[in-house]
Structure 1
Amino acid sequence: MERILIIEDEQLAADKLKMLINKIDPTLEIVGVLGTVVDSIKWLSNHSADLIFLDINLADDISFKIFEQVDLDTPIIFTTAYDQYAIKAFKHNSLDYVLKPVTEEELRGSLAKYEKYKTRNHDYGNKPKSLFDEYLTPQVYKSRVLITYGGKSRSIETEDIAYLYSFEKGTYLTTHEGNTYLTDDTLETLEKVLDPKVFHRLNRKYLVNIKAITEIHRFSTRRLKVDLVPSPPFDAIVSAEKITDFKKWLNQ
Structure 2
Amino acid sequence: MNIIIIEDELRTAKSLETIIKNLKPDARITGPYQSVEESVEALSNGAQPDLIFMDIQLADGLSFEIFKSVKITCPVVFCTAFDEYSLEAFKSNGVDYVLKPFSKDDIKEALRKVDDLKNFFQQTTSPNLEALLSILNPSSGKTSFLVFKNQKYTTVQTDNIAFFYIRNDSTSMMCFDGQEYALTQSLDTITASVSAKQFFRVNRQYLVNFKSIKEVEHYFLRKLYVKLVIETPGKLLINKEKSHSFLNWMEER
TM-score normalised per structure 1:
0.51
Q: Distance in 2 between matches of 1:156 and 1:68?
A: 37
- Conserved? CA contact 2:3–2:29, under 8 Å: yes
How has the CA–CA distance of structure 1 residues 156 and 21 changed in structure 2, closer, same or farther, with 3 Å as cutoff?
same
Query: Any residues of structure 2 matched to 1:163-182 within 5 Å, and which?
Result: 169-173=177-181
1:76 maps onto 2:93 in alignment: no
Q: Distance in 2 between matches of 1:110 and 1:20?
A: 12
Q: Distance in 1 between matches of 2:89 and 2:44?
A: 25
Using CA pairs below 8 Å that are at least 6 residues apart, which structure has the higher relative contact order?
1
- Conserved? CA contact 1:3–1:30, under 8 Å: yes
Q: Amino acid of the residue matched to residue 192 of structure 1?
A: Q
- Conserved? CA contact 1:5–1:51, under 8 Å: yes
Question: What residue in structure 2 maps to residue 3 of structure 1?
Answer: 2
Aligned residue pairs: how many? Answer: 145
- Conserved? CA contact 1:7–1:52, under 8 Å: yes
Instruction: For residue 121 of structure 1, give the secondary structure of its aligned residue in structure 2.
Output: helix
> Once the two structures are aligned, what percentage of the paired residues are identical?
37
Deviation at 1:60, TM superposition (A): 0.6
TM-score normalised per structure 2:
0.51
Deviation at 1:82, TM superposition (A): 0.6
Instruction: For residue 61 of structure 2, give the secondary structure of its aligned residue in structure 1.
Output: coil
**CA displacement 1:150-184 (0-9 Å, x = unmatched):** xxxx963257x9xx7876655415xxxxxxxxxxx
- Conserved? CA contact 1:91–1:97, under 8 Å: no
Q: CA RMSD in A?
A: 2.9
Question: What residue in structure 2 maps to residue 193 of structure 1?
Answer: 186
Deviation at 1:11, TM superposition (A): 0.7
Q: Distance in 2 between matches of 1:81 and 1:155?
A: 23
Q: Distance in 1 between matches of 2:32 and 2:5?
A: 5
Q: Distance in 1 between matches of 2:26 and 2:177?
A: 40
- Conserved? CA contact 1:35–1:59, under 8 Å: yes
Large movers: runs of 4+ above 4 Å: 164-171
Q: Distance in 1 between matches of 2:87 and 2:178?
A: 23
Q: Distance in 1 between matches of 2:21 and 2:82?
A: 25
Query: Any residues of structure 2 matched to 1:4-153 within 5 Å, and which?
Result: 4-46=3-45, 47-87=47-87, 90=90, 93-121=93-121
Q: Amino acid of the residue matched to residue 81 of structure 1?
A: A
How has the CA–CA distance of structure 1 residues 170 and 97 changed in structure 2, closer, same or farther, with 3 Å as cutoff?
farther
Q: Distance in 1 between matches of 2:60 and 2:80?
A: 16
- Which of 157, 160, 166 is the equivalent residue of 2:168? 157
Deviation at 1:192, TM superposition (A): 2.2
